[in-house]
Copies of this chain bind each other. A is one copy, B any other.
Amino acid sequence: MYKLVELQSGVCSAEGFFADGISAGLKPNGAKDMAFIYSETLCDIASTFTTNKMAAAPIKHFKAKGEFQTNFVLINSKNANAMTGKAGVEDIEEILATLPSEAQNPVMSSTGVIGVRVPKQKLIDGAKKFDLTQKNPQNAAEAIMTTDSFSKQKAFKVELENGKSFSIGAMAKGAGMINPAMATMLCFITTDADVEKEVMQEILDEIVKLTFNAASVDGDTSTNDTVMLLSNKKSGVFHKDAFKMALYEIMRFLAREMVRDGEGATKLVTYQITGAKDDNEAEIVAKKLSDSLLVKTALYGEDPNWGRIASTVGASGVEAKEELLTISFDDVCVYEKGNLYFDEVMEKKAAEVMKKSEFSIRCDLGIGNGSFEAFGCDLGYEYVKINADYRT
């Protein structure tokens, strides 16, 4: 059996990867706002980008390159380079052309305000500060933050039974809950596993669906959402199941951290849907619940208002019946197949569950075998405060 050993070195965990974050003066308070990931050798790339039709310039630039390998990713926060047309793509080309010669086929990723040209000279000057021999994953993770209140990293060394090993490391930034600027999720993953490009892309697609695509903060898809996985194959080792499991653990952890860090969020709720007609219908219900304002405010009010949950299941459009539905908060069942046994005792028990900072809401639809798990948060008072402050 393989073993996952947690590492603290983020995107520098895999052999031959370097990273750092610096201040290029985009964030007015002098905080880090520009990062790089560099590999000694060229990497295969697996990626998932936003489905938004207004995809930002860095995504257009990446896609226009067709099939390619790279060893350098440049990332900036504070400006999304979105809705900037051809000029936005040309800006990227100009910036990347100034990078040191070690950077081969470099790509860029951005997050921040939409509809403003990037401060090209600041980024060019900033990149000159990069030292490609540095391994400062924490600096890089901080530089890509926007309204995140903490940086997000996760890494594992995967030890196989035969004594060989490979590593996978990642950093991410989350989507603020209703952010004054547009909120974007970015995730960069590096590995020295000897994985084929096609296999890596297939695994990434499968896991994105179960993790980042199951995490809802405000239900919107940004212009810049990006997940990028780079493999330089330096370990010469691969084990599909172990790779998949480690990647799933990393991405699930980061997705949940993003939701936990949603602006003003006080609760991380896991929606576990079972008994749906199929997995697709379970996914529809889970996402409808995690996006529902009615449910989000009930969470915030710590009100075990199961009627809202039932109603939201009913509104989701999937096959569902009042007399087959069961609803639980963790292990406290509040409604079971038409039985209205929600009395004061049970309401108190359910309210106790809802006071926790992390719990699950379980709905069994009683129709078939479809299941899905989604992650959501409440719509908290702090969010209100942030918005009220923003106005003044």
Contact: B307 with A115, CB < 8 Å?
yes
Q: Does chain B have a CB within 8 A of A219?
A: yes
Write the nearest CB–CB distance from A111 to chain B, whole angstroms.
12
Please measure, in the bound complex, the distance between the C-alpha atom of A301 and the C-alpha atom of B391, giving whole angstroms. Answer: 5
- Listed A/B pairs (26) with beta-carbon separation below 8 Å: A51-B315, A51-B317, A52-B314, A53-B319, A54-B310, A54-B311, A54-B313, A55-B314, A83-B307, A83-B310, A85-B338, A114-B308, A115-B310, A178-B293, A178-B294, A178-B297, A219-B293, A220-B311, A293-B293, A301-B387, A301-B390, A379-B387, A381-B391, A384-B384, A384-B387, A384-B388
Write the nearest CB–CB distance from A299 to chain B, whole angstroms.
11
Write the nearest CB–CB distance from A223 to chain B, whole angstroms.
5
Checking B84, B182, B391 against A294 with a beta-carbon cut-off of 8 angstroms, the contacting residue is B182
Q: Does chain B have a CB within 8 A of A323?
A: yes
Contact: A85 with B322, CB < 8 Å?
yes
Write the nearest CB–CB distance from A284 to chain B, whole angstroms.
12
Contact: A314 with B220, CB < 8 Å?
no
Contact: B302 with A391, CB < 8 Å?
yes
Residues of A that sit less than 8 Å from B by CB: 51-55, 80, 82-85, 113-117, 178-180, 182-183, 218-223, 292-294, 297, 300-303, 305-308, 310-315, 317-323, 325, 335, 338, 340, 342, 379, 381, 383-385, 387-388, 390-391
Please measure, in the bound complex, the distance between the C-alpha atom of A178 and the C-alpha atom of B308, giving whole angstroms. Answer: 11
Which chain B residues lie closer than 8 Å to A179 at the CB level?
294
Checking B54, B307, B384 against A114 with a beta-carbon cut-off of 8 angstroms, the contacting residue is B307
Contact: A311 with B52, CB < 8 Å?
yes
Please measure, in the bound complex, the distance between the C-alpha atom of A117 and the C-alpha atom of B114, giving whole angstroms. Answer: 51
Contact: A182 with B387, CB < 8 Å?
no
Please measure, in the bound complex, the distance between the C-alpha atom of A221 and the C-alpha atom of B313, giving whole angstroms. Answer: 10
Contact: B307 with A113, CB < 8 Å?
yes
Add 15 more A-B contacts to A85-B322, A178-B293 (CB < 8 A): A52-B314, A53-B319, A54-B310, A54-B314, A83-B307, A83-B335, A114-B311, A220-B292, A220-B315, A221-B315, A223-B310, A223-B314, A301-B391, A383-B384, A384-B384
> Whose C-beta in chain B lies nearest to the C-beta of A334?
B115
Please measure, in the bound complex, the distance between the C-alpha atom of A84 and the C-alpha atom of B340, giving whole angstroms. Answer: 7
Please measure, in the bound complex, the distance between the C-alpha atom of A384 and the C-alpha atom of B114, giving whole angstroms. Answer: 27
Checking B293, B311, B313, B318 against A222 with a beta-carbon cut-off of 8 angstroms, the contacting residue is B311
Contact: B182 with A308, CB < 8 Å?
yes
Please measure, in the bound complex, the distance between the C-alpha atom of A51 and the C-alpha atom of B222, giving whole angstroms. Answer: 30
Please measure, in the bound complex, the distance between the C-alpha atom of A54 and the C-alpha atom of B311, giving whole angstroms. Answer: 6
Which chain B residues lie closer than 8 Å to A335 at the CB level?
83, 115
Which chain B residues lie closer than 8 Å to A222 at the CB level?
311, 315
Which chain B residues lie closer than 8 Å to A306 at the CB level?
115
Which chain B residues lie closer than 8 Å to A53 at the CB level?
313-315, 317-322
> Whose C-beta in chain B lies nearest to the C-beta of A325?
B54
Write the nearest CB–CB distance from A336 to chain B, whole angstroms.
12
Which chain B residues lie closer than 8 Å to A340 at the CB level?
83-85, 115-117
